Amino acid sequence: MITPDPRTACPSGGTPGIAQVESDDGLDLRVGQPAPALLPTDLVARHQAVALDRYGPAALAYGANAGPLPAREALAAWTAGAEDGHWTARDVFVTAGASHALALLCEELGTPDARVLVQRASYSVALDLFRRHRLRPLPVGADDCVPTAAELTASVRAARRAGERIAFAYLQPTFHNPTGRTWTTAQRQAVVEACADLGVTVVEDDPYREVHFGDRPPPSLAALGPLGPVIGVRTLSKVLAPGLRVGCVVGGAALRARLERAPLFASGGGMAHIGALTAASLLASPAFPAHLRHLRVAYRERRDALLGALAPAAGAGARWERPDGGFFVWLRLGGGVLADTVEKLSVRYGAQVLHGAPCRARLGDGRQAVRVSYSMHPVPALTTAGQALARAVTEASGRNPSR
């Protein structure tokens, strides 16, 4: 077992019991969270002070159920600008991040045992969340990431013939977690049109759009379809700070009004009030686009470091795509190599990777893939971790890595 080099270790969150991922776990590539070093503490402190100064006690009162109006305006302007959308504050409901938005949509759109159409590979925690709400993920298509219109149609018709209800389709077309892939505009249009024809609501989760390393991605599904039939779930977790707990549902005025009346908000008010007011000030400041530019450079360097170090794994039959944004690389293992073996050998050499199985909607799938995140560690650590993983893959394939 290689002892992690303290110089390249992921900085800890500081005091134990504060952050979800507290300490450096060696070269842990399982977690797709923003790098601690890239969390803008100064910016958040400054804009929280602006919010308190500007709104006084109202900033600390129960917040408006749909989120404070300045935050809804700022989130609408930011998302519409980044996605080529045409919505306004009236279409936006502020949530405590994307996870909260997804839980709310499960409650609003779900009925017990209904199906949720998902990409064959998907965000593992969302799959768990659906199951927890008694919704059953239904993987669609032959490809891990991109379902075609024909595949969607066939799956929906077969499910309905079997008497099943479709609650919604949960899709991530941009820098997909776990594969890192991004759909073309034509693929997006085809899916939006197919779901409209089938009467299936689309829930689009798009947390990584602004973390792009080249051209900006194509318009979002929410921008291509009418809001309502297409619902956007957005978050500031990856581009500002997950601890702010600010995200939103972009789903049109009717959905916003429906969520606003829910007892949860009548009781507690908006769930991220001071965070949302802080975000409203921050999103409107020139510091936000500057921060995004900084993130893109930093995450791009991290991606390059990991992929550079992984290169020898190709000789052992592993395949991966170079993501143009986001936090993840999906490593498909060749020649009968199992994720179980790679997982164990990686630990022996000092790195940790996420087994492919939880990222697959169908039980038993994902035995020959692992997800690797390059977001949390600095470049030297990623180089060491990538080398450890490449060594593990090579050894698992029986090709005796040089020692």
Whether residue 127 contacts residue 361, with contact meaning beta carbons closer than 8 Å, is answered with: yes
Residue 341: how many other CB atoms lie within 10 Å: 16
Query: Between 227 and 359, whose beta carbon lies closer to ligand PLP?
Result: 359
The Cα–Cα gap between 73 and 17 comes to 35
Query: Between 91 and 205, whose beta carbon lies closer to ligand PLP?
Result: 205
Query: Between 237 and 352, whose beta carbon lies closer to ligand PLP?
Result: 237
The Cα–Cα gap between 111 and 127 comes to 16
Torsion-angle region of 141 (φ positive above 0: left; ψ -120 to 50: alpha; else: beta): left
The Cα–Cα gap between 289 and 239 comes to 10
The Cα–Cα gap between 208 and 292 comes to 11
Residue ranges binding ligand PLP (CB under 6 A): 32, 97-99, 123, 172, 177, 205, 207, 235, 237, 242, 247
The Cα–Cα gap between 207 and 246 comes to 12
CB of 95 to ligand PLP, least distance (A): 8
CB of 273 to ligand PLP, least distance (A): 16
Q: Maximum distance among all alpha carbons in the chain?
A: 66
CB of 126 to ligand PLP, least distance (A): 6
The Cα–Cα gap between 399 and 402 comes to 9
Whether residue 244 contacts residue 278, with contact meaning beta carbons closer than 8 Å, is answered with: yes
CB of 178 to ligand PLP, least distance (A): 9
User: Which alpha helices (H) appear in 121-184, and where do they start and end?
Assistant: 124-132, 149-161
- E strands, 295-353, where? 328-332, 351-352
CB of 39 to ligand PLP, least distance (A): 13
Q: Which residue is nearest to ligand PLP (CB)?
A: 97
Query: Between 242 and 252, whose beta carbon lies closer to ligand PLP?
Result: 242
The Cα–Cα gap between 14 and 336 comes to 42
In 3-state terms the chain splits into helix, strand, coil percentages (rounded to 5) of 45, 15, 40
Query: Between 242 and 325, whose beta carbon lies closer to ligand PLP?
Result: 242
Query: Between 94 and 392, whose beta carbon lies closer to ligand PLP?
Result: 94
The Cα–Cα gap between 79 and 206 comes to 10
Query: Between 248 and 345, whose beta carbon lies closer to ligand PLP?
Result: 248
CB of 150 to ligand PLP, least distance (A): 25
Query: Between 82 and 159, whose beta carbon lies closer to ligand PLP?
Result: 82
Query: Between 25 and 340, whose beta carbon lies closer to ligand PLP?
Result: 25
Give the CA count within 13 Å in the CB-facing half-sphere of 175: 23
CB of 129 to ligand PLP, least distance (A): 9
CB of 10 to ligand PLP, least distance (A): 16
CB of 289 to ligand PLP, least distance (A): 20
